[in-house]
Structure 1
Amino acid sequence: MPRAEARSQVEITGGVDTHRDTHTAAAIDQTGRMLGHATFPTTRAGYAALLAWLRSFGRLVLAGVEGTGAYGAGLTTYLSEQGITVVEIDRPNRKTRRRAGKSDPIDAEAAARAALGKVRTGTPKNRDSQVEALRNLRVARTSAVDQRAGCMRQIKALIVTAPHGLRDQLRGLTTARLIHTCRNLRPDSTQIGVPEQAVKTALRSLARRYTTAQQEIAELDTLITALIETINPALLQLTGVGPDIAGQLLVTAGPNPERIHSEAAFAMLCGAAPIPASSGQTQRHRLNRGGDRQANKALYLIVINRLRWDPRTHTYLAKRTADGLSKKDTIRCLKRLIAREIYYTLRQTQPTTNKQPATT
């Protein structure tokens, strides 16, 4: 009995290396002593067994999980429901991995040690939220957009090699007119072995698929817009921000944007924060190629929209050009400034200084 009481006083940190079918867990104490490792199935019963196994060593105070947004999403949700503090573990340092080797138990132990030492850790996104619903809708929309674009590429490729009469009929049409014409082609199914009839059949099929994808996109856009207006309508009021851009930025920040501790951290997350690359008397920054590239693309599209329509952005561009910056450099500056504006809109707070997070 005294041994059980002593064990209950030991604080345990767990680490989990996640995969599609199994999770490998490791347990260490507060001094970093390895206590054991085990593998469990990725089912709710497996999650319960994993938690019970970790608790068998003492009082579980922290769990470091790899891939909380992918293979580790289910486990992260379960542990959070059980009141366990979960931190997201970044991928192991490559130099360390080369030295220590690679296996599931090794990765699980590395995750536990990273969680204990708070090395390259972060707060996972909450997966039970409206933002998660928004992410799911965006997955379907992205697929439909890709399918629509693929259909158009294939239609144009078929037109290039089509018989002269059909090619002359379809060449030079607008997209809407081209799709309408292809949908109304009437191939002779009894002559399907004739190339002209076969290409008509293919064009009609692709045009119908294009129309279906277009309808799906319109339906999903309606749902996405309504959801964004529920989550954070202020985003849609910003210049140059539409439902697609707002949806991406909400998904990037997650339903708990307070996990991003500053606007500089959000800019780094979006790959919009310049990286210092100075040495000696040379003072410079280099382009940041990390972060969420889809969020970076969203910031870029906001800049392009504002360069077209926003007078303040026109003024800023002229000022920075006079300072000697190229247009590319100015766009990067604008992305960084817009990241600040987006951050405070996501947090629904204002910066503590009197300086407004404007883009000009």
Structure 2
Amino acid sequence: MWAIEDCRHVSGRLEEALIVTGERVVRVAPKLMAGARRGGRERGKSDPIDALAVARAALREGIETLPMAELEGQSLELRLLLDHREDIVAQRSDEQRRLRWHLHALQLGDDVPVGALDRKVWIDRVARRLARQPQDARVRIARELLRSIAVKTRQARQLEREIAVLVADQAPQLLDQPGCGPLTAAKLVGEIAGPGRFASDAKLARMAGVAPIPASSGRRDRHRLDRGGNRQLNCALHRWAVTAGRVDPATRDYLARKQAEGKTRMEALRSLKRHLARRAWRLLNQPTPTATPLDTALALT
């Protein structure tokens, strides 16, 4: 058994080489090593010290409780495409903010709705306005930003279509769930990277940061929010929960029932996210699912 610190941009090739030769590999989250480092006799940081901290953390947590490493095939391709799309969208958002300042200074963009600068109708309309202005430095910069935004919008939409095709092939059962669109499903598939890595849905929920942490004392029994875990996976589950709460009647009823029990809206959403983590784990473990329908499962929760 090999325990490797979970920093796949560094350790990915080592993991792959070990798995190909038939070795078993588990991933140890870096935060689990902090206690092992503090408790070690030798101070400082080096490869031997880090290796010892990884081994101690793995033994302390229990080998069977840690996620197994698997060869990443199509899930890695999905994650790379998603990351590339998110980079493009982030760059486009930055350019849209800069363009708005220039349009404001030119008094040309007061009627442009928020979020409209990625729509062709508004891109064309703003381009015509800029073409009629004296071509000073500000106008030329604005026109260049507008062209770049149009290019990045086409790139992002092309990537969305490619991602939708891949996720429909890999996890069509997720797309059948209310509120789970292609981008959310792709994020789940890419970040989970093989449901077989998790022995139970509880372990997946803990890795996603949607399992509540016990914070009881004396006779007071309570739990608190987990701010750790994989935040990308947590974000995907949150999007699924919010969208399902808007479009699915059974999910709306579930959230209303939780709020009637005294939970806040955010606490109700956290309960739903924990349920959706269980749902995703079961669906991804059943390529042809026969699981309980979502509305029935929510009613029983």
Partner of 1:203: 142
Matched residues in 1 for 2:274 and 2:112: separation?
41
- Scaled by the length of structure 2, what TM-score is found? 0.85
Partner of 1:260: 198
Conserved? CA contact 1:338–1:358, under 8 Å: no
User: Is 2:126 the counterpart of 1:186?
Assistant: no
- Residue in structure 2 matching 1:152, options 96, 115, 118: 96
User: Is 2:67 the counterpart of 1:122?
Assistant: yes
CA gap 1:116/1:305 in 2 versus in 1, 3 angstroms: closer
> How is 1:250-289 mapped onto 2 (pairs within 5 angstroms)?
250-254=189-193, 256-289=194-227
1:105 corresponds to which letter in structure 2? P
Which of 1 and 2 has greater Rg?
A: 1
RMSD: 2.6
1:122 corresponds to which letter in structure 2? P
Q: CA deviation at 1:70?
A: 1.8
Q: List alignment gaps of at least 5 residues for structure 2.
A: none
- Residue in structure 2 matching 1:96, options 36, 43, 54: 36
User: Is 2:47 the counterpart of 1:107?
Assistant: no
- Scaled by the length of structure 1, what TM-score is found? 0.72
Partner of 1:35: none
Matched residues in 2 for 1:137 and 1:333: separation?
30
CA gap 1:230/1:109 in 2 versus in 1, 3 angstroms: same
Deviations 1:63-114 (A, max 9, x none): 3222352200011111222222222233253233134322112112333455
Matched residues in 1 for 2:33 and 2:51: separation?
14
Q: CA deviation at 1:179?
A: 2.2
Matched residues in 2 for 1:317 and 1:116: separation?
40
User: Is 2:182 the counterpart of 1:240?
Assistant: no
CA gap 1:347/1:154 in 2 versus in 1, 3 angstroms: same
Matched residues in 1 for 2:49 and 2:85: separation?
39
Higher percent of residues as helix: 2
CA gap 1:269/1:111 in 2 versus in 1, 3 angstroms: closer
Partner of 1:132: 76
Higher percent of residues as strand: 1
Conserved? CA contact 1:141–1:217, under 8 Å: yes
Q: CA deviation at 1:147?
A: 1.4
CA gap 1:90/1:328 in 2 versus in 1, 3 angstroms: closer
Matched residues in 1 for 2:50 and 2:29: separation?
11
1:97 corresponds to which letter in structure 2? R
CA gap 1:319/1:67 in 2 versus in 1, 3 angstroms: closer
Partner of 2:111: 172
Q: CA deviation at 1:355?
A: 11
Identity across the alignment (%): 33
User: Is 2:3 the counterpart of 1:64?
Assistant: yes
Deviations 1:241-289 (A, max 9, x none): 01110011101211x3111111111111211111110010111000111
Conserved? CA contact 2:33–2:57, under 8 Å: no
CA gap 1:357/1:350 in 2 versus in 1, 3 angstroms: farther
Matched residues in 2 for 1:265 and 1:357: separation?
24
Matched residues in 1 for 2:55 and 2:5: separation?
10
Report which structure shows greater RCO (CA 8 Å, sep ≥6).
Answer: 2
Q: CA deviation at 1:290?
A: 1.1
Conserved? CA contact 1:69–1:124, under 8 Å: no
Partner of 1:338: 276
Partner of 1:228: 167
Matched residues in 1 for 2:151 and 2:222: separation?
50
CA gap 1:133/1:112 in 2 versus in 1, 3 angstroms: same
Partner of 1:18: none
Matched residues in 1 for 2:99 and 2:293: separation?
55
Aligned partner of residue 298 in structure 2, secondary structure: coil
User: Is 2:229 the counterpart of 1:291?
Assistant: yes
Partner of 1:37: none
